[in-house]
């Protein structure tokens, strides 16, 4: 086997923001059934390591194009973490102060990542759920005249997935078979943006949507109460706390509502959080693909589809982020810091230095 070589990207980048997108589609070689071909789109290859980098840059640049944000104006947003991390990167590069509101139930490493990127993180009680951190962001924006990013309602969210994510999928699968596209939802931007394009240009692709089994808001059939601007008027009655961070706040976002209204999914398959954890671990240990609980949950659903799919089917699953921002979550439960007995015996098998 010849040594691997690289030639660079053929360009020099003016900003870290220019490296967002063009994430790789990677074949799954060891986990999928033999009768299908499985791929994942690994959004951890974005510079701040999640799919939310896309909407973060477009929210700010759309506001700049439309004159809705002033130089040096503070940006504020409610986020479970990935959008906040993406916004912190974008704001650092562009010189905007950022304040993030986040429920205190989300992983500590997410707070620290935002803070090292220069953001301020205001924690809200977990008992108030996603609507609590959302309402706090609105209050702060109104009180201080800050720019509210509004990831759950802004057109800039789905628009960037229409312009980039969908086009990347079309390019990568040009002239190739693609039968299923599998995704969960946080804001719904990925499903809506990709759906706009693939429904027209690759109508044979079936869209599979997932959500947490114990927070199955869409599956419930209960409509979301909204304010006049599309914002959530109340917590959705079907919501319960779940371990799939980044998925399914306690309301159905307006961005997702477009996909629901236009029928941008063919099947809805809820997934339990522990199943997502299990498949995230399997992806890491059997494929070397490191993703978070949301990615593991998406892949869990893709595996269900794979088992019943026709021979030769091709399945693409979205992996929203990296597993490194789940270090204090159930994903790493039981993963020891110290040597286990097998590791200790390996150390003792030679006379060199070993831990007692």
What are the structural domain ranges in the chain? 16-45+165-332, 52-148
Query: How confident is the model over 166-174, as a mean pLDDT?
Result: 98
Say yes or no to pLDDT of 355 above 70.
no
Sole residue written with tokens 């990167």? 89
CATH 3.40.640.10 matches 52-148: no
pLDDT band at 271 (very low <50, low <70, confident <90, very high): very high
N-terminal to C-terminal alpha carbon distance within the chain: 41
Q: Which residue has the higher pLDDT, 233 or 94?
A: 94
Question: Within the chain, how many helices (H) and strands (E) appear?
Answer: 12, 10
For residue 43 the two structure tokens come to: 């959004």
- Taking the complete model, does pTM exceed 0.85, yes or no? yes
pLDDT band at 1 (very low <50, low <70, confident <90, very high): confident
Q: CA torsion angle for 250, 255, 257, 259 (degrees, to 10)?
A: -130
CA-angle at 316, arms to 269 and 263, nearest 5°? 50
pLDDT band at 356 (very low <50, low <70, confident <90, very high): low
pLDDT in tens, 63-90: 999 999 999 999 999 988 899 999 999 9
Do the domains spanning 16-45+165-332 and 52-148 agree at the CATH topology level?
Answer: yes
pLDDT in tens, 18-63: 999 999 999 999 999 999 999 999 999 999 999 999 999 999 999 9
The CATH topology of domain 16-45+165-332 is Rossmann fold (3.40.50)
Share of the chain above pLDDT 90, in %: 92
Say yes or no to pLDDT of 189 above 80.
yes
pLDDT band at 335 (very low <50, low <70, confident <90, very high): very high
120 SS3 class = strand
Name the residues annotated as catalytic. Answer: 52, 294
For residue 100 the two structure tokens come to: 């993030």
Q: Where are the beta strands (DSSP E) in the chain?
A: 25-28, 37-42, 75-78, 98-103, 120-124, 147-148, 180-183, 206-209, 267-268, 314-319
C-alpha to C-alpha distance for 317 and 303, rounded to whole angstroms: 9
In this structure, what DSSP letter does residue 9 have? -
Residues facing 95 on adjacent strands:
none
pLDDT band at 107 (very low <50, low <70, confident <90, very high): confident
- Would you say 324 and 290 are in contact if contact means Cβ atoms under 8 Å apart? yes
Query: How confident is the model over 170-199, as a mean pLDDT?
Result: 98
Sole residue written with tokens 């969210």? 157
Q: CA–CA distance from 60 to each of 157, 254, 349 (Å)?
A: 11, 19, 57
State phi, psi for 232 to the nearest 5 degrees: -70, 130
What pLDDT shows up at residue 118? Answer: 97
Q: CA–CA distance from 196 to each of 162, 203, 231, 263 (Å)?
A: 7, 11, 22, 10
- Would you say 69 and 60 are in contact if contact means Cβ atoms under 8 Å apart? yes
pLDDT band at 190 (very low <50, low <70, confident <90, very high): very high
Query: How confident is the model over 149-172, as a mean pLDDT?
Result: 97
What pLDDT shows up at residue 80? Answer: 80
C-alpha to C-alpha distance for 111 and 68, rounded to whole angstroms: 27
Q: CA–CA distance from 40 to each of 20, 27, 57, 77, 86 (Å)?
A: 18, 7, 23, 29, 21
Q: Which residue has the higher pLDDT, 220 or 107?
A: 220
Say yes or no to pLDDT of 229 above 70.
yes
Q: How many CB atoms lie within 10 A of CB 139?
A: 12
> In terms of DSSP bridges, do strands 37-42 and 267-268 run parallel, antiparallel, or are they unpaired?
unpaired
Angle between helices 52-65 and 82-94 (to 10 degrees): 40
CA-angle at 250, arms to 245 and 252, nearest 5°? 105
What pLDDT shows up at residue 106? Answer: 83
Round the average pLDDT of the chain to a whole number and report it: 95
Largest separation between any pair of C-alpha atoms in the chain: 72
pLDDT band at 312 (very low <50, low <70, confident <90, very high): very high
C-alpha to C-alpha distance for 72 and 283, rounded to whole angstroms: 42
């Amino acid at each position: 086997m010849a040594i691997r070589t690289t030639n660079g990207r053929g360009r020099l980048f003016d900003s870290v923001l220019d490296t967002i997108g063009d994430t790789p589609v990677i074949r799954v070689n060891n986990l999928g059934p033999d009768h299908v071909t499985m791929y994942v789109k690994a959004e951890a290859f974005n510079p701040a390591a999640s799919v939310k980098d896309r909407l973060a840059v477009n929210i700010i640049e759309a506001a700049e194009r439309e004159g809705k944000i002033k130089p040096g104006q503070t940006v504020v947003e409610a986020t479970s973490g990935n959008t906040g991390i993406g916004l912190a990167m974008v704001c650092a590069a562009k010189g905007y102060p950022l304040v993030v509101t986040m429920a205190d139930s989300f992983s500590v490493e997410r707070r620290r990542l935002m803070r090292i990127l220069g953001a301020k993180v205001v924690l809200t009680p977990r008992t108030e759920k996603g609507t609590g951190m959302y309402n706090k962001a609105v209050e702060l924006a109104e009180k201080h005249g800050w720019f509210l990013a509004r990831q759950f309602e802004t057109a800039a969210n789905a628009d960037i997935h229409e312009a980039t994510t969908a086009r990347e999928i079309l390019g990568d699968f040009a002239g190739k078979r693609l039968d299923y596209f599998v995704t969960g939802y946080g804001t719904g931007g990925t499903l809506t943006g990709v759906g706009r394009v693939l429904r027209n240009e690759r109508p044979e692709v079936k869209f599979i949507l997932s959500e947490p089994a114990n927070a199955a808001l869409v599956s419930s059939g209960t409509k979301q109460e909204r304010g006049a601007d599309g914002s959530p008027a109340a917590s959705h009655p079907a919501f319960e706390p779940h371990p799939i961070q980044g998925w399914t706040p306690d309301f159905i976002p307006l961005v997702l509502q477009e996909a629901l209204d236009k029928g941008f999914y063919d099947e809805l398959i809820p997934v339990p959080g522990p199943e997502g954890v299990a498949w995230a671990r399997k992806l890491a240990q059997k494929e070397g693909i490191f993703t978070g609980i949301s990615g593991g949950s998406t892949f869990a659903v893709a595996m269900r589809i794979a088992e019943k799919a026709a021979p030769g089917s091709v399945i693409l699953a979205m992996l929203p982020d990296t597993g490194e921002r789940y270090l204090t979550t159930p994903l790493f439960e039981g993963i020891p810091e110290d040597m286990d007995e097998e590791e200790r015996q390996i150390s003792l098998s030679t006379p060199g230095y070993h831990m007692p």
